[in-house]
Amino acid sequence: MLKSEQLRRLHLLQMAVLRLLCKPEKKSVIYKILMGELSKARQCGHMEHDAMGGEHTVLFGYICDMPRIRRFNIGLRANGRKGILYCFNFQEEAVRQICGPNMDI
């Protein structure tokens, strides 16, 4: 179990990362890194997504835009597709509460 000082430092680190991601110039660098081996998004009905990982649709959810994540999840279900959501490990618990089995986090 983490001690209170470790938890405080972890929280500060998480907040610093989130602040960086809110800066457009930093966000574009992170986006390029995440794209790595993925291909650009392609039309999949009206489903919102950021990239394709083979036949799986991919959403970058690290900003934790819950309405967008929910729309992605609904789109996956409606189209009978599997998807991948990229987020930080400290966001996973909250995201799992709204995501179904058709999404890997």
48-82 pLDDT tens trace: 788 878 888 888 887 777 888 888 888 888 888 88
Global confidence as pTM: 0.69
**Looking at the DSSP assignment, which residues form a beta bridge with residue 104?**
84
**Would you say residue 14 has pLDDT above 80?**
no
- Answer left, alpha or beta for residue 24, where phi above 0 means left and psi between -120 and 50 means alpha: alpha
> What are phi and psi for residue 80, nearest 5 degrees?
60, 40
